[in-house]
Chain A
Amino acid sequence: MSGKHGDFEEFALARTPALYRAAWLLCGEHHRSEDLVQETLAKLFVRWHSRLRGPIDNPAGYAHTTLVRTFISAQRRRSNHERPTEHLPERAAGGGEIDVQLTLRDALASLEPLDRAVLVLRYLDDRSVAETAEAIGVSPGAVRNRTMRALERLRGQLGTSLTDLKS
């Protein structure tokens, strides 16, 4: 394969693991994460092959922004069916990375979807407050507030060992 199609596939193959990682943190489960990644790639495919618009300046950044925006849009449609979890279920004692993964997933599930998106953009994608605000369409002040609120909640869920969570 060559040309734009080949370039896109090469980019997508290289970028998808990072997109899936972000999607998993946002969705908390495999099937929705896969769906979110594929929907993101589909939108990126259309934009990549647009004849009326020039090439994407920063494809990786564009892809992650698209993923988060797609997640937020989907959440708005699902908003009547999903609520943040107030009380987390007890877990049997475990250990290692799987335990971290499950606990973090539960802790993230306790956050509002937009707060999850803020954390993913700021800490996984290393975006500034201003960049995060632009990506999700809120003010920088709202991003700061949501970041503080989300970290405070994570500290409460994950225990005192995370006292150095930065905000």
Chain B
Amino acid sequence: MTVPDSGVDLLLRRATDDLRPDVEHLVAGGITRGRTRRRRARIGTAVAAVAVFGVIGAAAAAVPLGGDPDAVQAPIATDPPVPETPSVAPLEPAQGLAVPADEIQETVNLILDRSPAAGDRPGESGGDERSRTAHFLYDGMLTTVVIEKGTLTMAQCAEQTCEELPDGSTRLEWGPGTADGVTAHGVTWWRRGYSVSALSYNAAEGKESPPLAPEPPLSKEQLRLVAGSDVWFG
């Protein structure tokens, strides 16, 4: 055979000049994989936030700051408890997810009977057959909803208190707690074969972002309404 008598750079280029990759197919595949990676990272962040803020909340509850351990503690203002109906029939497993990821923000507004505000912005969202994730700005502050197929495992309630409800579902509430300069709280509700997590932050980013309000914009009660809604399921 005859090899061109030239430098390595020319040889490498000449030997690959007639390659004809399907560029559009490659780019589409790369973007799909990239979106999957982002979604997995987001879900991982949300799960980690549950763990971090949950631990902070537990520590704060166990060690009152500057308090006299023998003193009578003043009642702590909390959201009103969700009324529980006695003798509720167990929930049926859902047949699937009904809300596309890019409609989660709008659905949250519907659940909360709220009109979009000036500070609302859509963010990254994605999903597949088994999950949906949406990050968006609610009054300018980060809000995350993660819905995943799967049932509760023992480990998920090992270090935090999960509440078992009469309908057979389990709810985990955490925060508000502050980490990396941002205060957040959230609710994860395992029901109908899925977990629905709703997280609200008091900054535009989940960490190292200037707080925009003393507390996250969504109250614990509102997060319960979001995480406990049946509108997510088919």
Which of A37, A44, A164 is close to B34, meaning CB atoms less than 8 Å apart? A44
- In the complex, per-residue mask of A142-167: 1 if CB is within 8 Å of any chain B CB, else 0: 00000000010010001101111110
Provided the pairs A16-B23, A51-B205, A100-B15 are in contact, do residues A41 and B8 lie with their beta carbons within 8 angstroms?
no
Which segment of A54-62, A73-81, A118-126, A133-141 sits at the interface?
A118-126
CA distance A126 to B12 in the complex (A): 12
B26 touches which of A41, A100, A151 (Cβ 8 Å): A41
Instruction: Give chain B's interface secondary structure class.
Output: helix
Question: B110-123 interface mask toward A, CB cutoff 8 Å, 1 = contact, 0 = none?
Answer: 00000000000000
A4 to B144, CA, bound (A): 21
A110 to chain B, nearest CB (A): 15
User: A161 near B2 (CB under 8 angstroms)?
Assistant: yes
List B residues 34-87 near A (Cβ within 8 Å).
34-38, 41
For A104, the closest partner residue in chain B by CB is B15
If the complex has contacts A95-B2, A158-B3, A161-B3, are A41 and B30 also in contact, measured as CB distance less than 8 A?
yes
The 8 Å CB contact of A17, one of B12, B21, B31, B36, is B21
Q: What's the Cα separation between A101 and B21 when bound, in Å? A: 15
Q: Residue B157 at the A interface, CB < 8 A? A: no
Q: Beyond A51-B205, A161-B3, is A124–B13 a contact (Cβ under 8 Å)?
A: yes
Assess whether A162 is in contact with B5, with CB atoms less than 8 Å apart.
Answer: yes
Number of residues on chain A facing chain B (CB within 8 A): 52
Q: In the complex, what's the smallest C-beta–C-beta distance from B25 to chain A, in angstroms?
A: 8
Cβ contacts under 8 Å, B208 to chain A: 52
How far is it, in angstroms, between the C-alpha of A105 and the C-alpha of B24 when the chains are bound?
25
Chain B residues whose CB sits within 8 angstroms of the CB of A9 once the complex forms: 27, 31
Known: A25-B12, A123-B12, A164-B7. Is A99-B1 also a contact (CB below 8 A)? yes
Q: Verify B9–A42 contact, CB threshold 8 A.
A: no
Q: Which of B7, B16, B30, B38 contacts A101 (CB 8 A)?
A: B16
Chain B residues with CB under 8 Å of chain A are 1-9, 11-19, 21, 23-24, 26-27, 29-38, 41, 124, 205, 208
Using CB atoms and an 8 Å cutoff, list the residues of chain A in contact with chain B: 8-9, 12-13, 16-17, 20-21, 24-25, 33-34, 37-46, 49, 51-52, 91, 93-95, 97-101, 103-105, 119-120, 123-124, 126, 151, 154, 158-159, 161-166
Enumerate the 8 nearest inter-chain pairs by beta-carbon distance, A residue then B residue, closest first. Answer: A41-B30, A45-B34, A42-B33, A20-B21, A42-B34, A104-B15, A38-B29, A123-B9
